[in-house]
Amino acid sequence: MSEVPLPPKVHRPLARQLLEWARAQGARWIICLEGLPMSQEPGQKQEQGEVWSVWGVGSTEEANAALENAGVEFLETGIVTGVAGVLLNEGRWAKYDVVALLAEARAYLPDANAAAKLVQTADQLLPEIKIDLAPLIDEAKALEQHLQTLKEQAMPVTTDAPASIYR
């Protein structure tokens, strides 16, 4: 939806409008793509381009069956917040298929690899649609290299300071 967090008071009205619009367009279901902050242990480092996990949550039995058939791991514990969470809830009440796909991603930087993994998983859910992931993966690699270059350039240049300025 947006890289800018929306105020909570607009989540439900927006979700309801999206659901209403999807039904009016004859869409079979809604797929939400979300990033989750990585659950890294202290001192653990993510390798460049590594995506740790993608999970799915469905609003109906049919949505959950589609996730299972596509080999998507279910989110067993936790909550889905924001517009995606409200869409899941509204879809459940309306008996409309909503799926949220959640990829573990870096919270502090854009994570194009996580985005590519989400699109790849959505592609598995929609066998009648083929999504060419090559341009997205190429962009992810270029972004990773650019971020690495910026990181190296931003490393502080320090020299050893004398133990004491008074000798």
Hey, CA dihedral for 122, 74, 32, 105, is it positive or negative?
negative
Place of tokens 């996730």: 67
Q: How far apart are CA 90 and CA 77, in angstroms?
A: 20
The pLDDT, as a whole number, for residue 167 is 59
Q: Which of 110, 104, 107 is nearest to 142 (CA)?
A: 110
The pLDDT, as a whole number, for residue 144 is 80
* Position 44 pLDDT exceeds 60: no
Reduce the DSSP state of residue 80 to 3 states and report it. coil
Q: How large is the average pLDDT for residues 89-108?
A: 92
* Position 19 pLDDT exceeds 90: yes
Contacts of 3 (CB under 8 A, 6+ apart): none
Q: Just give the CATH number of 8-40+47-154.
A: 3.40.50.10900
Q: Name residue 37's beta-bridge partners.
A: 105
> Which two structure tokens, joined as six digits, stand for 39?
């659950």
pLDDT one-digit tens code per residue, 101-157: 999 887 777 778 888 889 999 999 998 888 888 888 888 888 888 878 887 887 666
b/e burial code for range 81-95 (CB count within 10 A of at least 16 → b): ebbbbbbbebbeeee
Confidence of residue 77 (pLDDT cuts 50, 70, 90): confident
Q: How far apart are CA 128 and CA 90, in angstroms?
A: 26
Give the rounded percent of residues in the chain with a pLDDT score beyond 70. 82
Q: Name residue 74's beta-bridge partners.
A: 56
**133, 120 Cβ separation under 8 angstroms:** yes
